Structure 1
Amino acid sequence: MTGAPRIAGAIFDLDGTLADTIPICFVTFRRALERLGGPSYTDTEIRARFGPSEDGMFQRALPARWQEAFTAYLEEYERHLPLCEGLFPGVADALRVLRERRIPTALVTGKSSPTTLMSLKAFGVDGVFDAIETGSPTGIVKAAAIARVVATWRVPPPGVVYVGDAVADMQAAHEAGVLPIAAAWAPSAVAAELEATKPHALFTDAGDFHAWLAARCPD
């Protein structure tokens, strides 16, 4: 961990960063394909398909019936979402600090708009973020999305953090010129892989991230 910059803005990923939703993503993607007689994938195989939003994933997995599969997925996701325990406690605390200190916040996720909105509503944080950028069926667009958010805030990119749990998140943050913060607190996170991307900071406990952030947000 280097330096102690004052935070001018905070951007978050969703799956595995705000909440432990990745297991739900695996189950619901697999169930949707099963309902239409599509291929069966392991969790590892589904994770390898991450990048595009879910509609884009279904376009690749079941081209002839992807719209039906995506509709089935939305039904399954809504049904399974209550099984998630909600925001990681330290993340909830961090969002509260950011609101109290009037630091702008945003969400940049690779998820589709429908599942993003379902998730935020289920976790009680719909309306919390000043900006929301969702994924694209064509592939990873996070760096451009982060850059758009920072441009609207009119703050220097090095004063903004992007908090994510995936290697691609750290790469996007580096590309956009913001501070990459590795969220390794979800069971699905691989800290060694995140560390290899040279993040500005890495946390295996969301409570430690909350403390770090609070110390860098001006009162």
Structure 2
Amino acid sequence: MEAILFDFDGTLANTLPLIFHSFKALFKEFKNKEISSEDIVDMFGPTEVGIIHNHFTKDKEKAIRRFYELYKDKHPEFLHKTEEIEDLLKFLKEKDLKLGIVTGKGSQTLEISLDLLDIKNYFDVLISGDDTKIPKPDPEGIFKALDILKISPQKTIFIGDSDADIGAGQKADVYLTIGVNWISDYLQFNLKPDFIFKDVKEFRNLVEKELEMN
């Protein structure tokens, strides 16, 4: 085992409430339309910009700028640093593992969150939805990250909180595909990952055992 790749939203940070708030406010402001969190989940797949392009017929660029404003301005209110996650990242780096993020999130919102949470320095590679042509469960993002790291899928763990993540990891044929709901259990798994962890410590224990075996 040489690398661990993470999804971001719902895996490293509880961004879903912030995303829901930002899109609800945007639709209300620009379209005078009330939408639910479930409506927003149904839009997932493209980046935030892609969602706006798909659902707005006018003022798209203005709506995109406003979305970024909402996301950044409300970030401190909705998100706080999670000590358990940061301790995990420190532990993994101390073990000389390469770390990366493979997310469908757009590059700008990813940068906003990484900077405000102050965890960007832990990662060796960042692949956002802007860097891929096809979103997860297609494994394109995983392959791009591993190509940059020069590490094979068979020496990699991929971690996420959704079926799209599990599907991507399985299609990439990584060593282990792990589902987590240690931050949020909003999304449920229909696919079967190798493990499902509800606690960060459970995953840390697995890593320690794997490293002892290698």
Say yes or no: TM over 0.5. yes
Give secondary structure in 2 for the equivalent of 1:215. helix
What is residue 25 of structure 2 aligned with on the other side? 31
Which amino acid counterpart does residue 158 of structure 2 have in structure 1? Answer: Y
Q: CA RMSD in A?
A: 2.0
Q: Deviations over 1:22-61 (max 9, x none)?
A: 0110001111222223532100010111110000000111
Match of 1:212 in 2: 206
1:3 aligns with: none
Runs of 4+ more than 6 Å apart: none
1:163 has 2:159 as partner: yes
Which deviates more from structure 2 when the two are superposed, residues 51-60 or residues 64-73? 64-73
Structure 2 residue 181 is matched with structure 1 residue 187: no
* In 2: Cα distance, 1:75 partner to 1:130 partner: 28
- The 8 Å contact of residues 17 and 186 in structure 1, kept in 2 or not, is answered as yes
Matched, 1:58 2:55: no
Distance 2:64 2:134 in 1: 16
Rounded to whole Å, the distance in 2 between the matches of 1:138 and 1:38 is 32
Contact 2:45 2:104 in 1 (8 A): yes
Other structure's SS at 1:29 match: helix
Q: Is the contact made by 1:10 and 1:106 (CA closer than 8 Å) also made in structure 2?
A: yes
Aligned 8 A contact 2:90 2:122 in 1: no
One-letter amino acid of the counterpart of residue 184, structure 1: N
Q: Matched residues in 2 for 1:86 and 1:176: separation?
A: 32
Whether the aligned pair in 1 keeps the contact of 2:179 and 2:195 (CA below 8 Å) is yes
Match of 1:86 among 80, 93, 113: 80
**Partner SS state of residue 40, structure 1:** coil
Contact 2:125/2:148 (8 A) holds in 1? no
**1:170–1:180: 8 Å Cα contact kept in structure 2?**
yes
Report if aligned partners of 1:91, 1:210 keep a CA contact under 8 Å in 2: no
> For residue 160 of structure 2, what is the amino acid of its counterpart?
G
Q: Which moved more, 1:83-92 or 1:45-54?
A: 83-92
- What one-letter code is carried by the residue in structure 1 that aligns with 2:169? A
Alignment of 1:24-173 (within 5 A): 24-136=18-130, 140-141=135-136, 143-173=139-169
The letter for the 1-side match of 2:181 is A
Q: Which residue of 1 aligns with 2:14?
A: 20
